[in-house]
């Protein structure tokens, strides 16, 4: 027969251990439930790469402010016989229309980077749709061609943003 002595100190330690264990279990259960809920709603994934069969890379630039180096950049690309995609913000298109035309005239692709560069998941569906459409319209007016690529500002997107991009693409 064993004799176990319980002191106040051992009772407090035992009580704290039970409380910590229960807290850890509650956190684990809550996290698991959240993971299962999130997994039930699959995240839309935009295009990150395209299979081409060639060994190549894509070069892209975002134009959201300033144009001081645009012509120099275009000259460097031409010198090396390289084409790139320029993702333009609508405000930049408004401020530098001749640069937009020049980018297209040099044979580079132009993509949409929104009209005013907001965090689109926070903007809501209507504002997001307007941001995409307004920029597309501005680029098409100057180049005659609507963008077929979209890059969300800050790389920030969710299913709503992907859905808005798909809707805009279907309208062209």
Given pLDDT bands bounded at 50, 70 and 90, which one contains residue 84?
A: very high
Average pLDDT over residues 57-72: 93
Average pLDDT over residues 149-169: 92
Task: Tell me the average pLDDT across 6-24.
Answer: 61
The pTM (predicted TM-score) of the whole model is: 0.73
**DSSP readout, 98-161?**
HHHHHHHHTT-EEEE--SS---HHHH-HHHHHHHHHHHHHHHHHHHSS--S-B--GGG---HHH
Count CB neighbours of 133 within 10 A: 18
The whole-chain average pLDDT of the chain stands at 85
Q: What pLDDT score was predicted for residue 34? A: 47
Residues in a beta bridge with 109:
85
What would the pLDDT profile of 95-105 be if each residue is shown by its tens digit?
999 999 999 99
Region 3-14 average pLDDT: 58
Q: Are 84 and 106 in contact (CB under 8 A)?
A: no
Backbone angles phi, psi at 43, to 5 degrees: -85, 130
CA atoms within 13 A on the CB side of 29: 6
Cα(22)–Cα(10) distance, integer angstroms? 18
Q: What is the pLDDT of residue 45?
A: 75
Range with lowest mean pLDDT among 3-7, 26-30, 92-96: 3-7
As a whole number, mean pLDDT of residues 39-66 equals 82
Cα 32 to Cα 41: distance, rounded to the nearest angstrom: 15
């Amino acid at each position: 027969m064993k004799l176990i002595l319980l002191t106040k100190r051992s009772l407090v330690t035992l009580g704290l251990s039970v409380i910590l264990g229960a807290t850890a279990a509650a956190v684990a259960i809550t996290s698991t439930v959240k993971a299962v809920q999130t997994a039930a709603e699959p995240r839309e994934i935009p295009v990150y790469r395209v299979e081409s069969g060639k060994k190549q890379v894509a070069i892209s630039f975002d134009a959201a402010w300033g144009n001081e180096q645009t012509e120099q950049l275009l000259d460097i690309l031409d010198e090396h016989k390289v084409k790139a995609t320029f993702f333009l913000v609508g405000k930049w298109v408004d401020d530098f229309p001749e640069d937009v035309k020049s980018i297209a005239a040099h044979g580079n692709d132009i993509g949409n980077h929104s009209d005013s560069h907001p965090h689109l998941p926070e903007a809501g569906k209507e504002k997001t749709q307007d941001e995409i459409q307004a920029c597309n319209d501005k680029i098409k007016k100057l180049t005659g061609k609507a963008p077929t690529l979209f890059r969300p500002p800050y790389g920030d997107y969710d299913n709503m943003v992907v859905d808005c991009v798909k809707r805009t693409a279907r309208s062209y």
